[in-house]
Amino acid sequence: MPMDTTQKQELSTKLRAELGPCSAFVLVEFAGLTVAAVNDLRGRFREAGCTYHVYKNSTIRFAVQDTEHEVVGPLLKGVSGLAYHPEDPGAAARVARDFAKDNDKFRVKGGVAYGNLLDSAGVTAFANMPGPRELKSQFLALLNTPATQFVRVLNAAAQSLLNVLNARKDSLAA
């Protein structure tokens, strides 16, 4: 049964609220995939913590109207699956990139990141960037490195003194 105008507006408003805090999302085309492959795709998005739904292009168009995501307009043709993660901007792009490697009929149409339109290659480049966890661990390692080196420098003097004392002890014992 087709949706009436009120239902379409409610769905569009709900999608707008969900996409509001998201800094990035990905549009995919899945025509020609088997039901098993589509279920696998949905499962991969779910495992990554992403939200994935298939919407009519007009619903997406109305949801992003007058927002930073409005630049996605040219990609809204054909069948569109929309995937996003509210906290990790690159999560949906990474899942889409990995799934596209295994499935020839799956295609990344493009996406939006921080108000910029991305083509398929742009989404792949975005997916190759480290996520929040990787960035945090790299930052902590960067902070930890000077402290470790500082402790080694402080310890070197004491270690050298200990080596001299041990050598003196050995020479007196011999």
The partner residues of 112 in beta bridges, in order of sequence, read 25, 117
In the chain, the amino acid numbered 66 is: D
Report strand pairing: 24-29 vs 51-55: unpaired
80, two tokens: 């569109």
User: Is the pTM for the entire model greater than 0.85?
Assistant: no
- Model confidence band, residue 12 (pLDDT cutoffs 50, 70, 90): confident
Domain 5-129, CATH among 2.60.40.3080, 3.40.50.740, 3.30.70.1730, 3.30.413.10: 3.30.70.1730
Distances (CA, A) of 36 to 15, 103, 119, 161: 26, 12, 27, 69
pLDDT for 96:
93
Domain positions in the chain:
5-129, 130-174
pLDDT for 102:
87
Q: Is the pLDDT of residue 161 over 90?
A: no
Range in 44-58, 89-103, 157-171 with the lowest mean pLDDT? 157-171
Contact 110, 119 (CB under 8 A): yes
Q: Measure CA of the first residue to CA of the last residue in the chain; give whole Å.
A: 99
> What are the pLDDT digits (tens) for 101-137?
988 889 999 999 898 898 988 888 888 877 667 767 7
> What are the pLDDT digits (tens) for 66-113?
889 889 988 998 888 999 998 888 899 999 999 999 888 899 999 998
